[in-house]
Amino acid sequence: MEVVLIDKFIVPEESKVAFLAEVRNSSALLRTLPGFVEGFVYENVHGGSRHNFVTTAVWKDEDAFQNAKKRAAEEFQKIGFNPPEIMKRLKVEMERGIYGRSPY
């Protein structure tokens, strides 16, 4: 079963440009890791929720997901990329969920 990491964000208007740049920075690495299937950024354009961005990253299976978590943490540390600090600086709130994905 594929593993899907779904992050929901509340991003202040003044942080949107910087937030999207940071998402693209991190996804550039994630896309290179073994077992990565696909990833998307969604922006809520019709309101109705306090979350205005959602990101997804799909991994081939649980092993690929666990290996990617470890490898991404190592690479982020090497380059000084600190997601919790970035979210704090941009005043972004985040909620994370990990799901199994299978066809309807």
| pLDDT score, position 67 | 97
Q: What is the mean pLDDT of residues 56-72?
A: 97
pLDDT for the residue numbered 61 = 97
Q: 2-101: which CATH number, 3.40.50.10490, 3.30.365.10, 1.10.3720.10, 3.30.70.100?
A: 3.30.70.100
C-alpha distances (whole Å) from 62 to each of 10, 28, 68 are 28, 21, 10
What's the rounded mean pLDDT across residues 38-55? 92
Q: Give the model's confidence band at 48: pLDDT under 50 very low, under 70 low, under 90 confident, else very high.
A: confident
Give the whole-number percent of the chain exceeding pLDDT 90: 90
In the chain, the N- to C-terminal Cα span, in Å, equals 13
Residue 103's pLDDT band (boundaries 50, 70, 90)? confident
- Work out the average pLDDT over 38-60: 93
Model pLDDT, residue 68: 96
